[in-house]
Copies of this chain bind each other. A is one copy, B any other.
Amino acid sequence: MAKRTGEKYDAIINAAVRVIAQYGYHQAQVSKIAREANVADGTIYLYFENKDDVLVSLFNEKMGAFISDVEKALSNVPSPVNQLRELIRLHFEYLQADAQLAIVTQIELRQSKPAVRKEIGLILKRYLGVIDRVIQDGIKDGLFREDIDVRTARRMIFGTMDETVTSWIMKDCKYSLTDQVEPMLDLFLNGLSK
């Protein structure tokens, strides 16, 4: 029933990003999103099942595009070390380039109800898979230690990047996120110890 494609589909998703970023998740009413998208309230329901579907679709479209970009970029990078650098760089670059999107995916959408968060979690799994592959390649190529647990390493990489972006937003995006790439990569690769 819902079209899930077309000019207005994109307009509504982008309007949702702007409205949620500006007013916050709990003040992002359907009518506000509709007005921002220059469509009638009812039009939203021609393109989406319901409000939750708008939010999940938003995450899916934006995160899906990001993951595809990352996958494509990494496929051109030979060394797992450089792949990891590229992964962090793209993660930060992408969110730094669109602070509104960062606020929405990093802060606001996490307030959504369980059903929405579950869908979002599923989408994120694909990204975690990308991280896993970089780690596994690193081990296979003899660059990373064989005794590390892939899941532990993945949680370190994703958890650190996630926490870093959240901190950055909470500090009003005042500093450069991409400046964090090298120090973070260095920590990941070499750890704290002398």
CA distance A179 to B111 in the complex (A): 30
Q: Taking A138-B192, A159-B162 as given, write out 8 further A-B residue pairs in contact, using a Cβ cutoff of 8 Å, ordered by the A residue number.
A: A111-B111, A142-B194, A144-B193, A145-B192, A155-B163, A159-B159, A189-B191, A189-B193
The answer to whether the Cβ of A77 comes within 8 Å of any Cβ in the partner chain is no
Contacts of A189 in B (CB 8 A): 191-193
A188 within 8 A of B: yes
Q: Which of B113, B143, B159, B164 interacts with A164 by CB under 8 Å? A: B159
Q: Which of A81, A114, A191, A193 has the most chain B CB atoms closer than 10 A to its own CB? A: A191
Chain A residues 176 to 192 lying within 8 A of chain B, measured CB to CB, are 180, 183-184, 186-192
Q: Which one, B112, B155, B180, contacts A152 given CB within 8 A?
A: B180
Contacts of A184 in B (CB 8 A): 152, 156
**Which residues of A pack against B, CB within 8 Å?**
24, 26, 81, 84, 110-114, 117, 121, 135, 138, 142-145, 148-149, 151-153, 155-156, 158-164, 167, 170, 180, 183-184, 186-194
